[in-house]
Structure 1
Amino acid sequence: MADRPPGKARRETPLERADRNFAELLQELRVTQTGVQILFAFLLTLAFAPRFPTLDTVQRVTYVTTLLLAMLAAAIFTAPAALHRALFQQHAKPVIVRVSSRLAKIGTWVLMLAFTGSVLLVVDVSLGRVAGVAAGTGTLLVCVGLWRILPWVVRCAMVAPRKYRGRT
């Protein structure tokens, strides 16, 4: 089915819209949650690696902070399912969708920080502090660019006057 032009509403009831929005949100969370789980599992195993005792204080603080951020991201991304289960058949779907959407937005910020810390730590241990900070900064910039700036640019392009669309 082709996308409708911006501003064209679907013919659906508020509950149908809430059901559709929740299904779409859950699909997005499934994709994100897999990455969070892999990152969290990786971080959990690092403390048992033979080289872990040789980490300096900055690296250990980075590790613990990143581990906690990954745990927080996992908790935030699973919260919509728990919220839905707790409010199941309470006629709260629109509220569940609003709260879950906010949780997903917060979760992406936390995940950005967890990605940044993970890359910073691994590159710091592998190549040194300066390279680690550079790689962590690059990771943060890529995530902000793709997850925040790109959607903003696309949203602006969608509402731009028609006469400006398609120009290069």
Structure 2
Amino acid sequence: MSATGSTADTTNTGRNETELERADRKWAELIQEVRVAQTGVQILFGFLLTVVFTPRYEELSDTDKTIYIVTVVLGAAATGALIGPVSLHRLVAGRRVKPQTVEWASRLTFVGLVLLLATMTAALLLILRVATHDGYVPWLVAGVVVWYVLCWFLVPLLVRFRHTTK
């Protein structure tokens, strides 16, 4: 028996840790990951908020203004999802639901990453449309999106499926 009152379990993890120790470890890992994503989305969101106050904003076409508004809303949603785990933890701390907190925080983080992908896509589309006005912009943006999806989702899933049993 461990100090938490449950026996250590190495099932599927290869670690000698209790459920609560595993939840604590996963929480620490998740928070480190969220810090990276939060920083990026907050910088991007802060930059987006300033665009509307520049003289150039009035010169944008209606389509570009729509893209800008969608980008800001996506950025706000991504910020909310990526800050959500902190609020979740704070509101349930001490309630003995750490494993469930980790699971929900992980879901919020994944949603935040998808929203960050959408925000970056929309921001890139807007910036390249304004900078070049060329027809190849959607193709450039699509290429970058494919790269993000490959790096953020496909490679991790490939590693997961090739090197884990769970």
TM exceeding 0.5 = yes
| 1:24 and 2:29 aligned | yes
| 1:103 and 2:111 aligned | no
* Residue of structure 2 equivalent to 1:82: 87
* Residue of structure 2 equivalent to 1:14: 19
Q: Offset of 1:50 from its aligned partner?
A: 1.2
The percent of aligned pairs where both chains have the same amino acid is 38
SS in 1 for 2:55: coil
Aligned residues: 154
Q: Judge conservation of contact 1:59–1:121 (CA < 8 Å) in 2.
A: yes
Q: Judge conservation of contact 1:119–1:135 (CA < 8 Å) in 2.
A: no
Q: Judge conservation of contact 1:83–1:96 (CA < 8 Å) in 2.
A: yes
* Residue of structure 1 equivalent to 2:4: none
Q: Offset of 1:133 from its aligned partner?
A: 1.7
Instruction: Structure 1: give runs of 5+ residues left out of the alignment.
Output: 1-6, 161-168
Question: Which letter does structure 1 place at the counterpart of 2:49?
Answer: L
Q: Offset of 1:43 from its aligned partner?
A: 0.4
Measure, in 1, the Cα distance between the counterparts of 2:134 and 2:87: 40
Moved more, 121-130 or 29-38: 121-130
Q: Offset of 1:96 from its aligned partner?
A: 0.5
Question: Which letter does structure 2 place at the counterpart of 1:70?
Answer: G
Measure, in 2, the Cα distance between the counterparts of 1:117 and 1:134: 13
The superposition leaves residues 85-114 of structure 1 with CA deviations (integer Å, 9 ceiling, x where unpaired) of 111111111110000011111111111000
Measure, in 2, the Cα distance between the counterparts of 1:88 and 1:106: 22
| 1:59 and 2:64 aligned | yes
Correspondences of 1:120-131 after superposition (within 5 Å): 120-128=125-133, 130-131=135-136
Measure, in 2, the Cα distance between the counterparts of 1:55 and 1:132: 16
| 1:49 and 2:54 aligned | yes
Q: Offset of 1:56 from its aligned partner?
A: 0.6
SS in 1 for 2:38: helix
The alignment's C-alpha RMSD in Å is 1.4
Q: Offset of 1:157 from its aligned partner?
A: 2.8
SS in 2 for 1:147: helix
Match of 1:73 among 67, 75, 78: 78
Structure 1: 4+ residue segments shifted above 3 A? none
Q: Judge conservation of contact 1:36–1:111 (CA < 8 Å) in 2.
A: yes
SS in 2 for 1:35: helix
Question: Which letter does structure 2 place at the counterpart of 1:79?
Answer: G
SS in 1 for 2:135: helix
